[in-house]
Structure 1
Amino acid sequence: MAQADFAYALAADPAGIPLGVSIFADDARLRGDMEDDVAQAGFTLLHTGGLDELMAGHARSLGELVLVDCPQPDGKAMAALTRLDERVSRSGARLIVSTSMEYLDTVFGCCSQSKPQFLVNAIRAERVIALGRALADLPNMRLRELSEDDRLNLLRLTEQVGRIAERLDRMDKSGGGWGQRAGGGAFRFESPSEGWRAEPELIRKPRPPLPDARLVRQVLAHRRARAKFFDGDLFADPAWDMLLDLTAARVEHARVSVTSLCIASGVPPTTALRWIGQMVDAGLFVRVEDDADRRRAFIELSDKAADAMARFFAEVGKDALAMA
């Protein structure tokens, strides 16, 4: 699918200084696409090269945004990515990392400080959306002055654009299919509302126990069965599916990798990763480092999320959940 020709104003800080970008990718064609995308987005390209240049660790200005493509990182690349994550975190820049599903856990474990955007087997439209989100998140940028509602609306819009682009990309390759909707998916990208929190009088009561993990798994199985008969986008609810999966894991005393959680979400990995980031920021999920291997990380329910899930299951009841 041809890339749309958008014209953007020069991306600059409030003082008018152009925002710089560095790109590291071994695939020359992909690197060329990334260069075109950052140019169209109004950024100034400071440096572009292969992963070997990132691993060399030469002192240079990386700019306000760094794009890295590492589909199959080896030990040296992982070490370089860890150093880059720390450097980006200290500088206040933004990091976008694309990888493969096979190496997602490895790459996720290397990036614990900078809160990067992760892209998995990304199409070009997803990279363009990631650039827009990075621009919105940069400190002291005009988009930071938007209200929270405006920012959420912007994120919803970019998500819808991504879904449309993904669908068009599939149609372009396969010729389309019966039952495929022409518009964006039903998935909405938004922060969990304040309403999920327990009422003050409930907080003082003892928390009910979490339900049997087998019941939670049954609910998840029923939800996934719908995709056999209906377009899965109709019921896309990644936040809830991930909450259910982590609830069952907490009862089972099992650890959940980011790859496993992406699969449980029922949406594309890149979308799931955006949700995971939102849920961590909202205090519902917690990133837990692996004590045995600092390059690995797991996702768990926070205590307040576990409390809310326990109260939900207690209020709704086992019989009603079994029919969900």
Structure 2
Amino acid sequence: MAQLAYVCEGEPDVAPGAKSCEFPVEGDPSRLVVSLFAESEPVLATMAQDTQIAGLAVRTRRSLTSLLERGGGVLGDIVLVDCPKIDGAHLAALARLDERAARSGASLVVATVADALEDVFGCLDRSRPDILVGATRAQRMVALGGAMARMPGRRLREADEEERIALLRLAEEVERLAAKIDGISGRSSLGVRPEESLSLSRVAQPTQGYRHDDRQSGMQRRTRIPLPDPRLVKSVIRHRAMRAEFFDEALFADPAWDILLDLTAARAEHRRVSVTSLCIAANVPATTALRWISQMVESGILVRVQDDSDKRRAFIALSDGAADAMARYFDAIGTAANIV
């Protein structure tokens, strides 16, 4: 790998030859600051530009592997990472960053590619990061806005749930408009197909609305209903997929339900599901699927299951409560229906 040439603008606090750029943050002490990590100087420069457009201050611009050095520097309130390639050093750096972000409360946004998703996801199990797959600049800006919304009240005025959802909707609209502009020319200047960006903008963002209702009678809790025959679940999935033959598939985008159906079939078959496989099953762009998965894990509907044979790998499964709810759902609609 070629040595990254660091270009420090302004007056960074860095000694000659050091592998990082530390920028003094002046002005409003409540201003959010951002740490940037990437192995490419052009990517770092673009990330810095986007950060400044968002009105945030850049604290550091560093290589990801610099986190393995002693000290590793001070993290900002928000941490943006570009990690398109994975090797042992990058895995170790991501694991350390995950631990530090979880400990400090920094909001972590990591951009990667589909081939590296499994490794990246497996390394980030504590900091509740926003993982972007094949991210465009517009998607990174959306993620940056989401990170700002999640910051604690000491930095930003504490927003209620309605305001948070409004901010997410605004982010969707920004991305939709960006995709429209790209579509006028027939190509995407942001590096994504216009139809893919449009489908992403049509999908509602995950909210705190995911909640499994445990308020059942004592008799109901004692009655364990078995999961449906996996052939029935797969039949439902096939029928849902057939709609795309007659209508625009974005019209029916429902990643949460597609995720639940796929994991229900997998649980009934005693089969483990990787995050990459689940993103495909969600039938939306991977970045969108990951947001839904993250929210559903946080809400207790899904759980991460570490691979005992490879600690760097993690699977996704239904929680016991969600599995029980899916079993009851299929029982309620009639699992005696013909299996086709």
**TM-score tier after normalising by the smaller chain length:** 0.7 to 0.9
Unpaired runs of at least 5, structure 2: 1-24
CA distance in 1, matches of 2:206, 2:196: 24
Rg: which structure is higher? 2
TM-score by length of 1: 0.86
Give the alignment partner of residue 216 of structure 1, picking from 227, 233, 238: 233
| Cα distance between partner residues in 2 of 1:73 and 1:285 | 26
Alignment CA distance shift 1:196-1:39 (3 Å): same
What secondary structure does 1:200 align onto?
coil
- Opposite residue 156 of structure 1, the aligned amino acid is R
CA drift at 1:134: 0.6
Alpha-carbon distance, 1:62 to partner = 1.7
Alpha carbons of structure 1 residues 20 and 50: separation in structure 2 relative to 1, 3 Å: same
User: Partners in 2 of 1:71 and 1:39 — Cα distance?
Assistant: 23
Q: Could you say if the C-alpha distance between residues 106 and 315 of structure 1 is closer, same or farther in structure 2, counting changes exceeding 3 Å?
A: same
- Code of the aligned partner of 1:39: Q
Question: Which residue is equivalent to 1:5?
Answer: none
Residue matched to 2:136: 123
Q: Does the alignment pair 1:20 with 2:33?
A: yes
Q: Does 1:193 align with 2:209?
A: yes
Q: Which residue of 2 aligns with 1:135?
A: 148
The match for 2:10 is none
Deviation of 1:65 (Å):
1.2
- Tell me by how many angstroms 1:184 deviates: 7.6
Distance 1:45 1:271, change over 3 A: same
The separation in 2 between residues aligned to 1:58 and 1:132, in whole angstroms, is 29
Task: Tell me the percent identity.
Answer: 49
Is the 1:191–1:282 contact (alpha carbons within 8 Å) kept by the matching residues of 2? no
Supply the distance in 1 between the matched residues of 2:249 and 2:224 (Cα, whole angstroms).
Answer: 34
Q: How many residues align?
A: 308
Describe the shift of the 1:321–1:256 C-alpha distance in structure 2 as closer, same or farther (beyond 3 A).
Answer: farther
Matched residues in 2 for 1:171 and 1:301: separation? 42
Partners of 2:237 and 2:177 in 1: how far apart? 27
> Relative to structure 1, is the Cα distance of residues 107 and 173 closer, same or farther in structure 2, using a 3 angstrom cutoff?
farther
1:49 equivalent to 2:62? Answer: yes
8 Å CA contact 1:285–1:302 kept in 2: the answer is: yes
Provide the C-alpha distance between the structure 2 equivalents of 1:321 and 1:236, rounded to a whole number of angstroms.
Answer: 26
- Report the more deviating stretch, 277-286 or 226-235: 226-235
- Structure-2 separation of matches of 1:34 and 1:75: 24
- Displacement of 1:309 in angstroms is 0.4
String of CA shifts for 1:62-114, please: whole Å, max 9, x gaps. 21111111111111110011011101110111111000011101000001110
Which residue is 1:269 aligned to?
Answer: 286
- Name the stretch that deviates more: 118-127 or 312-321: 312-321
The equivalent of 2:3 in structure 1 is none
**Partner AA of 2:204 in structure 1:** R
For structure 1, which runs of at least 5 residues remain unmatched after alignment?
1-11
